[in-house]
Chain A
Amino acid sequence: MAPPSAQISGSNKKAQLGRFAGYVFASVGAVIGALLLIISLWRPDAFYGLRSMATDAASPVGEAGAVTRTGSRSFFEAIAGYYDAGNKNAELERENEIARVRLAEMRALEQENARLKAVLNLRDSEQPPVAIGRLIGSSSASTRRFGYLSAGRNDGVAVGMPVTSPMGLVGRILETGRTTSRVLLLTDPESIVPVRRAVDDVVAFAEGRADGSLRIRLINLGINPLEEGDIFVTSGAGGLFRPGVAVAMVTQITNDGAIGQLLSNPAATDFVVVEPIFEPEAIEAADTPLQIEQPVDGGTPTADSESD
C-alpha cells in the first residue's frame, strides 16, 4: 500500500512548510514530555492532584466494571450450580486457604497478646475501619503496581492508610481523590513492609518485586532460619500497619531471606477495607526533622549534623 499522495510534499512550498511545522510540533511535544518526565521522576508527588482528578472523573467506568464483575459472577455461579462438584471443591479449597491464613494470624495474635500483656500501658490496637471500597482497576500495563480504589477523601481516606482484605494486607493509600484513591500494592518495587514470622520473632522486610511475589529480606543476617511455607505477618514496626496482618507465604529460600507469595491476591478480592494508620504519632515524629545543633561559628560542621 502506498501512502496517500497528500503525504508527499514534492515541490509544493505550502506542503513542505506543513510537514516541517508538523515535525516542529511533534518535537516540541517530545521535549515537553521529557521535561514533565524529569519533574515527575524527581518529585513523584508533583502531579498527584491532576491524576486523582482524572481518576475521579473516569471512575464510574471502573465502578460499573467492578459491579459487573461481581454481578456476573453470581450469575455464573447460578449456572455453575449444575456443575457443582468441581466448583464446590474449589470453593472449599479457597475457604481452607483462608482458614489457614486465619490460623496463622491467630497464632501471631496470641503471641502479640502475650507480649502486650508483658508490657503494660499499651493501647488497644483494634480500631474500626475508615472505609470499605472496591478495587476498580490496576495499572495492569505498567511496571508500577498501583490499584484504584472506589473510596476517597469524602469517605475519610487519607494518604498512608493501610488497605486490607480478608486474606491479608493489600497495600497502602498513595494518593487520594475526592471519590477514588490510588493504592500502592504490596508488589510494587517501591513498597516495603516490615514483617515478622507468624510463629516467632524473625523480623524482615517484605519488598515488592513487580512480578507478583515479594522478596523477604531478613534484618538479622546469619543462618537463614526460614522454611518453605512460613507465613509472614506485619510486625507493626514503623507505625503504619497494625501488627498481625498476614502478608506473604515463603515459597523459595534465597541467601539473604526468601521469595514469598502474596497471600491476599488483590485480583481475588471484591471488597477491601481501609484501616486507620496504626500509630499516627510515630509517623508524625518520623516526618518532623530532627533538631540538630548548628555550629555557632561558621566553622566545620560537627559529625552530628553531617550524619543526618
Chain B
Amino acid sequence: MEQFNPSARRDQFGSKINRDHSPVLAYGIPWVMILLASLSPLLPIIAPLPILPPLGYLFLLAWRVLRPGLLPMWAGLPLGFFDDLFSGQPLGSGILLFSLTMIALDLIEVRFPWRGFWQDWGIAAIFVTLYLFLATLFSGSGLPLVQYPIILPQLALAVLLFPVVAQLVALLDRMRLTRVRKIG
C-alpha cells in the first residue's frame, strides 16, 4: 500500500482533511481586535496625564501593515467612530484620522511594495507621531503649542509598543486561518 507523507494532511493551520477555514474567524478577528483595543479607556487606569498609547490606532496600523487588503479601505469610518465613542476625543477626530491613515498606507504600499520589519516600524512611528499630534490639535482642549511635549512620553511608549502589537497581530493572524469548520 502506498504510504503518504504523514505531514501532507496537515499544515500550520491544522488538518486539511474534512476541515476548512471559518470566514467569521478569518475576517472577524481583525475587526474584533481593533474594537477591543479601542475600549482601552475603560481599563481601570486613571491617568492624570495622557500616558496610554492609542491602542485602537496601533492595532489598526499593525493589521493594515501586516495584512494589506484584509481590512477594506472604508474600515476607517466604523472603526474610527467606535474609537471616538470611548477615547474622549471629539466625535469625528478618529473617523477622519483612521480614514486618512487607510488612504495614506495604501499610497505608501503602491510606492514601496517590498517591505521589512524596520520599514514597517518606521512607517508606524511616523504615523503614530502624526496621529498623536493631530489628535491633540483636534481634541478641543485648546492646549497651547508650548505644552505639546506632554504627549512625548505617550508617543515614546506607542512607538516602542508597536513591535509588540505587531507580534500579537501576527500571532492572531495565524489563529485567524485555523481550520475549525467541519465540511460534510
- Does chain A bind chain B? yes
Residues of chain A having any CB pair with chain B under 8 Å: 1-4, 6-7, 22-23, 25-30, 32-41, 44, 46-47, 50-51, 54-55, 58-59, 61-62, 65-66, 68-69, 135-148, 185, 187-190, 209-212, 262, 265-267, 269
A163 to chain B, nearest CB (A): 12
Determine which of B50, B69, B114, B136 lies in contact with A4 in the assembled complex, contact meaning CB atoms within 8 Å: B69
A103 to chain B, nearest CB (A): 24
Q: Which residue of A lies closest to B100 (CB)?
A: A30
Please give, as numbers and ranges, the residues of chain A lying within 8 Å of B69 by CB-CB distance.
3-4, 6-7
Please give, as numbers and ranges, the residues of chain A lying within 8 Å of B178 by CB-CB distance.
none
Please give, as numbers and ranges, the residues of chain A lying within 8 Å of B93 by CB-CB distance.
33, 37
B46 to chain A, nearest CB (A): 4
CB of B14 closer than 8 Å to a CB of A: no
Number of interface residues of B (CB under 8 A): 61
A143 touches B54 (CB 8 A): no
A267 touches B47 (CB 8 A): yes
Knowing A3-B68, A3-B109, A34-B92, the reply to whether A210 touches B41 (Cβ < 8 A) is no
A63 to chain B, nearest CB (A): 9
A138 to B47, CA, bound (A): 7
A36 touches B42 (CB 8 A): no
CB-defined A-B contacts under 8 Å, sample of 21: A3-B68, A26-B103, A30-B103, A33-B96, A33-B99, A36-B91, A37-B93, A37-B96, A40-B91, A40-B92, A41-B140, A54-B85, A137-B41, A140-B45, A141-B41, A141-B88, A143-B50, A143-B141, A188-B141, A210-B141, A266-B48
12 additional contacts, CB 8 Å, given A44-B90, A189-B141?
Answer: A7-B109, A22-B73, A26-B106, A29-B74, A30-B96, A33-B98, A38-B92, A141-B40, A142-B50, A146-B88, A210-B143, A267-B47
Contact with A along B108-128 (1 / 0, CB 8 A): 010001111000000000000
B109 to chain A, nearest CB (A): 6
Q: Which residue of B lies closest to A186 (CB)?
A: B48
Our count of residue pairs bridging A and B at CB distance below 8 angstroms stands at: 215
**For A25, A30, A140, A209, which residue has the most chain B Cβ atoms within 10 angstroms?**
A140
A300 to B44, CA, bound (A): 58
B89 touches A68 (CB 8 A): no
Nearest first, the 7 A-B pairs at minimum CB distance are: A139-B88, A36-B92, A33-B95, A37-B92, A33-B96, A22-B73, A212-B48
Please give, as numbers and ranges, the residues of chain B lying within 8 Å of A51 by CB-CB distance.
85-86, 91
Knowing A143-B143, A212-B48, the reply to whether A61 touches B39 (Cβ < 8 A) is yes
Please give, as numbers and ranges, the residues of chain A lying within 8 Å of B53 by CB-CB distance.
141
A284 to B38, CA, bound (A): 38
A141 touches B151 (CB 8 A): no
Knowing A29-B99, A30-B100, A50-B91, the reply to whether A141 touches B77 (Cβ < 8 A) is no
B88 touches A50 (CB 8 A): no
A187 to chain B, nearest CB (A): 6
8 A Cβ contacts from B132-155 to A: 135-136, 138-143, 147, 150-151, 154
Q: Which residue of A lies closest to B140 (CB)?
A: A41
Please give, as numbers and ranges, the residues of chain A lying within 8 Å of B90 by CB-CB distance.
37, 40-41, 44
A99 to chain B, nearest CB (A): 22
A115 to B49, CA, bound (A): 37
A34 touches B142 (CB 8 A): no
B42 touches A212 (CB 8 A): no
Please give, as numbers and ranges, the residues of chain B lying within 8 Å of A189 by CB-CB distance.
141-143
Please give, as numbers and ranges, the residues of chain B lying within 8 Å of A65 by CB-CB distance.
42-44
Please give, as numbers and ranges, the residues of chain A lying within 8 Å of B103 by CB-CB distance.
23, 26-27, 30
A7 to B44, CA, bound (A): 41
B140 touches A144 (CB 8 A): yes
